[in-house]
Structure 1
Amino acid sequence: MALALYRKYRPSTFAEVVGQDHVTEPLRTALAAGRINHAYLFSGPRGCGKTSSARIMARSLNCVEGPTPDPCGKCGPCLALAPEGPGSVDVTELDAASHGGVDDARELRDRAFYAPAESRYRVFIIDEAHMVTTQGFNALLKIVEEPPEHLIFIFATTEPDKVLPTIRSRTHHYPFRLIPPSSMRELLERNVAAEGVQVEPAVYPLVIRAGGGSARDTQSVLDQLLAGAGPDGVTYARAVSLLGVTDVALIDAMVDALSADDHKAVFGTVDQLAEAGHDPRRFATDLLDRLRDLILLRSVPDAASAGMVSAPEEQLNRMVAQAERLQPGTLTRYAEIIHNGLLEMRGATAPRLLLELLCARMLLPEVAGDEAATLQRLERLERRFTAGGPAPAAPAAEPASAPAPERTFERPSQRAAAPAAPAKKEPEPAAAPAPKPAPATPPPSPPAPPAVAEPVAEAAPVAGSEPGQIDAAALRQYWPQLLAAVRKLSRSTEAMLTNATVHSVEGSTVVLTHSAEPLARRLSEPRNADCIATALGQVLSGQWTVRCVHAGAVQASAAAPARQTQAAPARQAPPQPTRQQPPSAEQQRSFQRPSATEPPRRAVPTTTEPDIPLPPEPEDEDDPYPAGPDAGGPAAAPAPEPVDPEAIAHKLLSDHLGARPID
């Protein structure tokens, strides 16, 4: 029986290990310096040299000339631990996949205390260490932590995260990797030369791709090809048929048809694929690999010489020509379609149908100018949301010099103040509301605008401001943009501005009013005021300061003249009669002699307070019938006298007894 290639050409020294220099060099240095640890952990993918390196480590430790990085290969331990050797009684290799229980761990622990028979160290190699149970690891924990001087543990695993952390923390961890294609090809060519079999150069990429970076799997695939080699050796056609890979001619035909936008050739290639018995999933995978190579050749001109793309010279020239006919964006789009299609093909009952649909998607024309349109959208978004940048070109951001001819959802105060804001001239008599006459207030001077009856009225721009400066009415048009800018800076400040409004603009100071006095104080705090001022600078540019006042205080200050005019007649008016009248004379006589069984009552003094005239509410100013006789309206009906049932009972009883005292 022939020996398998991966066993026949198994490395016997660290120098023969392929593609693991990051592990072998530190181990060789440690062995040369004599820094030997009591436990090692070798992790990595399957077939990358973990167990082989563990045997080489045991051989280097027990060599007569050792510990040494280069075993002599002639002494007893070296011959016993050679790849084709019988093994050593002092080196125990345990497969944890079948011996990972707590009983196996206890037996191993009991054997570990015995001294080596003929070697320097007793070495325990535990393969597939992640299969050891938690109880088994706990049984080994004490001896792994404090082993005898002659004992060394080597754990090999493909999943180091499943090893008990207390065990892993007491080992020197060396991670192994997949072998790169260049190193793998050197290994295959060396083995083929030792076997004396001719292999076509185009076969090596197929074997390396089938092996997936594992030395054992790759050599097993090559062993299969060598076993079926004919008189001409291993040909490309034989390798394609045995490995089940897609013929490169079909891949070239598909890429050429896609580059020429030939629909008939594309679907004809799929039909040839099905007639040849190839797997559509494997064809899609191989086509994705080809697209990857074309993207690299298109992006990196020297990708072939740098080793990024591995292919025969003839095939490489053909791929370079294909990459020149396709744009990088098109190649990327094809690769994304194939990649997503492979996910859809998992478990599909009709893979050929899905492959034809993928081809139809790739043949769809690209949208012209799609990239430019995306860039334009991004630029617009950046201009809109960049802090401190220019305002977006929207109708709401137009300057106040060109207001809209018609406003919606405006207050009466805004409609009253808007005509007087742009120019200092008298408004039309019909457009301005009729002012309410005040008896004690002198008439306004001719240059001043008429007074507005609403308490919170927006005045014209403050005297002394420069022409063209924004006023309160124009600032209200920017209120949505201001709230959006404040929202980016502070969401809490934006929430407090919900019921706030612009009262006036005094130069560079904006005065806001709020219906809630606590929120008005909060908005006047430096943090919130600076936030609103920064947002104003972003929306309107310039430097601003902001202060907020309570709307009630503004109303009180606006209604002060009216309160003064109504206070004078109120002082001269007679006091209003109280609602509670004093008892009559008869009731007083009936109460002079209380009953003997009833305790005397204390008279409750009644006090009368004069009515203090209050300022008129805004909604009551236009009432044609003010209350009270002094206001000229109908007199208010007198309040009914309170009814005392006990007093009525005393009155009836006294009348019946003739006004005699009740005993």
Structure 2
Amino acid sequence: MDSPLALYRRYRPETFAEVIGQEHVTEPLRAALAGNRVNHAYLFSGPRGCGKTTSARILARALNCERAPIADPCGECESCRDLARNGPGSIDVIEIDAASHGGVDDARDLREKAFFAPVKSRYKVYIIDEAHMVTTQGFNALLKLVEEPPPHLRFIFATTEPEKVIPTIRSRTHHYPFRLIPPRLLTSYLTELCDREGVSIEAAALPLVVRAGAGSARDTLSVLDQLLGGAGPQGVTYELASGLLGYTPDTLLDDVVSAFASGDGSAVFGVVDKVIETGQDPRRFTEDLLRRLRDLVILSAVPDAAASGLLDVSGDQADRLVAQAAAFGRAELTRAADLVAAGLTDMRGATAPRLLLELICARILLPAADHTTEGVMARLDRLERRASISGTTSAESAPVAAPVAPAQDRPAPSRAERAAPERTEDRPAPAPAPAASPVAEPEPVAQTPVVQTPSAPTPVAPTPVERPVEPEPEPAPEPVAAAPTPAAPAPAAAAPSGGLTLVDIRRLWPAVIDRVKGVKRVTWIHLTQNSQVVGFDNNVIALGFQSDGPRRSFESGGHSDIVQQAVIDEIGAKVRIDAIIDPSAVPGGTPPPAAPAAPAAQQAPAAPAADARAAAPADDGWASAPPPSDDPPPWAVPGDQAPPADAAPSEPTPRRPRMADIQAREGELADAPPEDPDAHARFDDADVDAESSAELLARELGAQMIEEIPRGG
């Protein structure tokens, strides 16, 4: 049994009504045939497989139909049956392939035979296919015949390159340009043909067939014929179509697009390696990636493009494309598509297409290295997405002017000012009187170190030097009413600053650490093993270190700038990094609670100064010392330990008040130039030599020198 004809031959149109996608040509021809206004020469031009030769045959059938003038051939007369789809052909309709008969001798032979009358038809019709292959001498030989043919002669030229037909011939013909068939029309036409053939085809496979046909009806039917021939019991599936046609599977495209959206270079280059390992063509993969990016660009501009038919994709694929487009910004998608398009052009004729593909992926993953307008817009899109994670817009995430000047703009505090907040904590709290009331708080200002002590002893605390200026505190109703308010500063670490909170910073901190890891390994080690985020206020991130050594190494190594840039890239906020000492910080562990714990001196009800002196035990060993006050003792040098309770002097000796000692040195400290807060951890020898031995013993031990015995005596 003979094998069936090819699909494009079995379903070749026999009337103009059956020609699809060429209504702009078929309708005027039908009108001319019906009105008997047919010209003696026609020129049909257009891409291959769009219906030029088929329309020329239909026109010849209509011209020689016994019922002419008629728009469509009747199909019943002898001439229509001879020129039918499976007919023997007519002697009066001559088809010439100009690719092999385009010389001047062939043109002269045609001119000699053209003057003979038709055998049994009304017209003798010459259909010259591939007319652009006729030489200039051949066209010149036909020029007089085409210009003034005999009444029974008609010419139909069909070509894909009408510009190669000499102008003298084109000017003597009616030119009808054919076009490519729209994809949606081809899709419906293929579905109808599959129903006629009795073979099922998946909806996801139809776009691949249409894409392979590239708008040509003949090429599309040839591809479909190949798939139908290899289809199994399940019909034409997506896997069969993508495998035979050589297209990239949607799973690979989904993986690489998702990796681009998340900035995962490992996943991107893993997909490239899989493309090479599976034997696929890198050029075809790049072309498919460009087409996918084109679909995403359209979806980002027209969210309902899939539903409205603007994109010819299946339902489940449309949902995936919508989700992928939402993960990008428009500028990012446009930039990625431009890079892929430029790379695809460079791949033509390249000897290392994989290398070019990897370079394209690297450029897409690094918008920061692109200083063009597209690169800047892509970075802005990424920053806006980072800011949206914390629930703020790009305008809100911009740094706002804080009412308090940043720490780097304030003058460096003196040694006494730096020591004051720490002395209050290091000094053992006196035993409060049982009957003391919390209302009798001497100074509301003394509660300010509560915010600073758990996180870090930073210079942000108000200077305690101003407190001696105040007279003896008296319990007044106004300060008493304001005293309970310090319960609110507990969540100060989570107060919003520029739209971000401490909770947001800690939630996004792992991403910052990952970015730092790719920049500098030492900085990453500091962040993961030595420090922890302990505070965030006024666009300042406080990193707590358990000891001073790692903190100094962090500051001196320029790691703050690296962390600051990583925060800008990942979070989209311009902040300052402040390294502090915080013994409560647990590097690499659970973050400390947002509300700092109050010191021991504040947890117990405070008593007035007179009551505290009365309640102090007589045999304490320090009974002769001045009563404890809110002012830090002079011996509470940063880093030193307070003297033990049992280290009492041998005999009670009156000693100078501790605050007076600070006031005595205030002028000297004020005249000194500002110094680095971390330049010294304790007083050096110069400070000790500046005082006499008697003053030093009186201040440190509370002793009185009776007699100084000279050396050698």
User: Residues 123-522 of structure 1 correspond to what in structure 2 (within 5 A)?
Assistant: 123-366=125-368
- Secondary structure of the equivalent of 2:305? coil
Deviations 1:364-413 (A, max 9, x none): 034799759999xxxxxxxxxxxxxxxxxxxxxxxxxxxxxxxxxxxxxx
CA distance in 1, matches of 2:196, 2:273: 42
- Secondary structure of the equivalent of 2:313? coil
Aligned in 2, Cα 1:315/1:143: closer, same or farther, shift over 3 Å? same
Q: Which residue of 2 aligns with 1:511?
A: none
Letter of the structure 1 residue corresponding to residue 290 of structure 2: L
Deviation at 1:2?
A: 2.0
TM-score where L is the length of structure 1: 0.55
Question: Do 2:332 and 2:374's aligned partners in 1 also have CA atoms closer than 8 Å?
Answer: no
Aligned in 2, Cα 1:248/1:328: closer, same or farther, shift over 3 Å? same
Letter of the structure 2 residue corresponding to residue 300 of structure 1: V
User: Residues 84-103 of structure 1 correspond to what in structure 2 (within 5 A)?
Assistant: 84-103=86-105
Deviations 1:469-501 (A, max 9, x none): xxxxxxxxxxxxxxxxxxxxxxxxxxxxxxxxx
CA distance in 2, matches of 1:373, 1:40: 53
Aligned in 2, Cα 1:41/1:229: closer, same or farther, shift over 3 Å? same
CA distance in 2, matches of 1:365, 1:103: 64
CA distance in 1, matches of 2:80, 2:374: 69
1:31 and 2:14 correspond: no
CA distance in 2, matches of 1:258, 1:174: 47
Deviating more after overlay: 92-101 vs 296-305: 296-305
Query: Please, which of 5, 19, 22 is the counterpart of residue 21 of structure 2?
Result: 19
Aligned in 2, Cα 1:359/1:369: closer, same or farther, shift over 3 Å? closer
Q: Which residue of 2 aligns with 1:75?
A: 77
Aligned in 2, Cα 1:342/1:373: closer, same or farther, shift over 3 Å? closer
- Secondary structure of the equivalent of 2:44? strand
Q: Which has the larger radius of gyration?
A: 1
Q: Which residue of 2 aligns with 1:394?
A: none
Q: Which residue of 2 aligns with 1:104?
A: 106
Deviation at 1:347?
A: 1.7
Question: Do 2:42 and 2:174's aligned partners in 1 also have CA atoms closer than 8 Å?
Answer: yes
- Secondary structure of the equivalent of 2:59? helix
Q: Work out the percentage of aligned pairs sharing the same amino acid.
A: 65
Letter of the structure 1 residue corresponding to residue 333 of structure 2: L
Deviations 1:505-524 (A, max 9, x none): xxxxxxxxxxxxxxxxxxxx
Letter of the structure 2 residue corresponding to residue 164 of structure 1: I
Deviations 1:560-593 (A, max 9, x none): xxxxxxxxxxxxxxxxxxxxxxxxxxxxxxxxxx
- Secondary structure of the equivalent of 1:41? strand
Q: Which residue of 1 aligns with 2:381?
A: none
Letter of the structure 1 residue corresponding to residue 182 of structure 2: P
CA distance in 2, matches of 1:60, 1:366: 66
- Secondary structure of the equivalent of 2:306? coil
Deviations 1:38-84 (A, max 9, x none): 00000001111000000000011111111211211111111111121
Aligned in 2, Cα 1:374/1:224: closer, same or farther, shift over 3 Å? closer
Aligned in 2, Cα 1:85/1:198: closer, same or farther, shift over 3 Å? same
Deviations 1:401-430 (A, max 9, x none): xxxxxxxxxxxxxxxxxxxxxxxxxxxxxx
User: Residues 612-631 of structure 1 correspond to what in structure 2 (within 5 A)?
Assistant: none
CA distance in 2, matches of 1:370, 1:279: 31
CA distance in 2, matches of 1:373, 1:366: 7
Deviations 1:212-233 (A, max 9, x none): 1111111111111011011111
Aligned in 2, Cα 1:327/1:373: closer, same or farther, shift over 3 Å? closer
Deviations 1:259-305 (A, max 9, x none): 11111111111111112111111000000000000011110122223
- Secondary structure of the equivalent of 1:352? helix
CA distance in 1, matches of 2:258, 2:278: 19
Letter of the structure 2 residue corresponding to residue 199 of structure 1: I
CA distance in 1, matches of 2:371, 2:354: 33
Q: Which residue of 1 aligns with 2:4?
A: 2
Which ranges in structure 2 are unaligned for 5 or more consecutive residues?
378-713
CA distance in 2, matches of 1:369, 1:135: 57
Which protein, 1 or 2, shows the higher relative CO under an 8 Å CA cutoff with sep ≥ 6?
A: 2
CA distance in 1, matches of 2:162, 2:309: 31
CA distance in 2, matches of 1:361, 1:249: 22
CA distance in 2, matches of 1:370, 1:114: 71
User: Residues 455-604 of structure 1 correspond to what in structure 2 (within 5 A)?
Assistant: none
Letter of the structure 2 residue corresponding to residue 61 of structure 1: L
CA distance in 1, matches of 2:374, 2:16: 57
Q: Which residue of 2 aligns with 1:115?
A: 117
CA distance in 2, matches of 1:373, 1:31: 59
CA distance in 2, matches of 1:238, 1:181: 20
- Secondary structure of the equivalent of 2:53? helix
- Secondary structure of the equivalent of 2:367? coil
CA distance in 1, matches of 2:161, 2:334: 34
- Secondary structure of the equivalent of 2:176? strand
CA distance in 2, matches of 1:342, 1:373: 19
Deviations 1:532-575 (A, max 9, x none): xxxxxxxxxxxxxxxxxxxxxxxxxxxxxxxxxxxxxxxxxxxx
Which ranges in structure 1 are unaligned for 5 or more consecutive residues?
376-663
CA distance in 2, matches of 1:65, 1:210: 41
Aligned in 2, Cα 1:166/1:365: closer, same or farther, shift over 3 Å? closer
CA distance in 1, matches of 2:171, 2:331: 49
Q: Which residue of 2 aligns with 1:45?
A: 47
Letter of the structure 1 residue corresponding to residue 24 of structure 2: H
Question: Do 2:275 and 2:282's aligned partners in 1 also have CA atoms closer than 8 Å?
Answer: yes
Letter of the structure 2 residue corresponding to residue 260 of structure 1: S
CA distance in 2, matches of 1:358, 1:122: 59
CA distance in 1, matches of 2:132, 2:276: 43
Letter of the structure 2 residue corresponding to residue 261 of structure 1: G
Aligned residues: 375
